[in-house]
Amino acid sequence: MQLEQTLSSVSSVAIIGGGIAGATAAVHLAELGLKVTLIEKKASLISGPPICHLHAGGNLYREISTQQCLKLLKQSIDTARLYPHTINNRPTIIAIPYLDGGSPEELYERLLSIQAAYRELVDEDCANGVLGDPENYYRFYSREEVEALVTLPQPSEPKSFDDWLIPFAKNVDLDSLRFPVAIVQEPGWSVFRIAASAALTLEKRENCQLLLNTEVVGLEENNGWRVDVKDSNGHRHSVHTDYLINACGYETGHIDDLVAKPRDRLVEFKAAYVTRWSQCEELWPEVIFHGPRGTPNGMAQLTPYPNGVFQLHGMTKDITLFDDGLVSSCSVSSQPKLPSRLEKKIILGWDKEVAIERTQRAIQHMARFLPNYQQAVECGTPLFGAQQIPGNDETLRAADVTFDGVNYARIEVVKGSSALEAAQKLVEHWGLHEYRNDSIEALHPVSMSLSADQVEAKAKIIATSRDYPQELAQYYGSL
């Protein structure tokens, strides 16, 4: 406690942006005892691009390196430990359709590498075993093995890979797939329970000032930073801080421009669609049907929630991706400029007809492999937002933090599971805390004190306030 008081008396940090990067940094720094001010222009935390799974191992991204996969694995495990009530414990099936042109055998070597790395992490610390037994990290199923499950009833509490494969075996057009199919311990991740966990933690920390509905209107560097802000009532005041963290997500370039610290980056607008398949009576895993990105046969992704609610991605330009949806910074600005029609969606929301039309396309895209999914209907606002990618490599998925000058940093995560590592790197780079052998759990006592019921109750309120079904906030999977 004495160390915490000493640090907080000399070190203050202002974080601009309350998405998953900024909120996670605020949680970590506040839990270390630093004086934290988190500035977010929206009414609540973490409302950016859709999040549906941890990316524990990066299995969904064939185009990235195995090195990136292993980095995502470690980051995902740490994040699951930080936010223990946000995980949906169900596996993910990875299937290769004939339309894809790829081969299931291409998955073997990568899965072996990820499994070996996971086993090593669990051997180092049993608390890392958030994905279950490393020996059961994945399994391949032949067509004969899948067909043998068709006549079996699914247990009310699926436990084994066989249990989770039963609805897939019964409903998917197996003739459309190459075999074997893989099933992997890639759990779900609830964006609404992440938002709830972060908000509840920060509300309990007296050393954290949470400024919602507040916009940054000016910045001046002078032996630290003066941050000028304006609230929703037009009232202005200034925050004085030792360190400044730019965690503005896809708008990170605006702050870079304001402080004259240029940086190359890409921004990509994406959307996922919320549907309800009322005829579904079993618990599904997540299912990935691979396909060439940006083509009519792009990947189809089925993410399950309670009561027949599913989130859909279709990696085509008519569904999840958008024409001119990937833009880059230029010589005069670090902020990539999205087309006005996409900026309008972010600021004002969706036109109802467009939302329904794209949702229907997503349903039909999924129905190519899961014919009965044609019965599904639109169910709430699309999950959408813009995602930044630092640099110029659009395939980059594992990224965290960059520094510019003595006391300015950008958190530039592409995947939310990278946020905690970014915050830890900030602390180490600026010498804000001396990490010893403290566990993630020991470093975050307030976060660890939250109950699953508290988090879910808060998450439901957040989901409702954003016009999403409460199922997206509820726990899903095996207990």
pLDDT at 4: 45
Sorting pLDDT into bands at 50, 70 and 90, what band is 6?
A: very low
Residue 282: which H helix or E strand, with range? none
E strands, 307-382, in order: 309-314, 326-328, 377-378
Average pLDDT over residues 338-362: 94
E strands, 326-426, in order: 326-328, 377-378, 383-390, 401-403, 408-411
Query: What is the phi/psi pair of residue 32, to 5°?
Result: -80, -10
Kindly provide the b/e burial profile for residues 112-142, where b requires at least 16 CB atoms within 10 angstroms of the residue's own CB: ebbbebbbebbeeeeebebbeebeebbbbbe
Tell me if domain 2-49+192-263+393-473 and domain 88-189+265-390 are identical in fold. no
Sorting pLDDT into bands at 50, 70 and 90, what band is 153?
A: very high
- The topology under which CATH files domain 88-189+265-390 is D-Amino Acid Oxidase; Chain A, domain 2 (3.30.9)
To which residue do tokens 């669609």 refer?
Answer: 273
Given a cut of 50, whether residue 427 has pLDDT beyond it is yes
Contact 370, 302 (CB under 8 A): yes
How many whole angstroms separate alpha carbon 422 and alpha carbon 399?
Answer: 8
38 pairs with which residues across the strands?
15, 210
How many whole angstroms separate alpha carbon 42 and alpha carbon 53?
Answer: 24
What is the per-residue pLDDT across 16-62, written as a single tens digit (0 to 9) for each?
999 999 999 999 999 999 999 999 999 999 987 778 888 776 666 77
**Cis before 180? omega within 30:** yes
Nearby residues of 42 by Cβ (< 8 Å), 6 or more positions away: 18, 212, 213
What is the per-residue pLDDT across 235-279, written as a single tens digit (0 to 9) for each?
999 999 999 999 999 999 999 999 999 999 999 999 999 999 999
Neighbours of 449 (CB within 10 A): 11
How many whole angstroms separate alpha carbon 44 and alpha carbon 139?
Answer: 40
pLDDT over 70 percentage in the chain: 97
Strand 188-189 versus strand 236-241 pairing type: unpaired
How many whole angstroms separate alpha carbon 2 and alpha carbon 5?
Answer: 5
- Domain positions in the chain: 2-49+192-263+393-473, 88-189+265-390
Nearby residues of 434 by Cβ (< 8 Å), 6 or more positions away: none
DSSP 216: E
- The topology under which CATH files domain 2-49+192-263+393-473 is FAD/NAD(P)-binding domain (3.50.50)
How many whole angstroms separate alpha carbon 123 and alpha carbon 128?
Answer: 9
What is the per-residue pLDDT across 173-207, written as a single tens digit (0 to 9) for each?
999 999 999 999 999 999 999 999 999 999 999 99
To which residue do tokens 């894809």 refer?
Answer: 100
pLDDT at 8: 41
The candidate with the shortest Cα–Cα distance to 88, out of 22, 25, 158, is 158
- Stated pTM of the model: 0.94
DSSP 12: E
Report CA torsion sign: 231, 233, 234, 237. negative
37 pairs with which residues across the strands?
14, 209
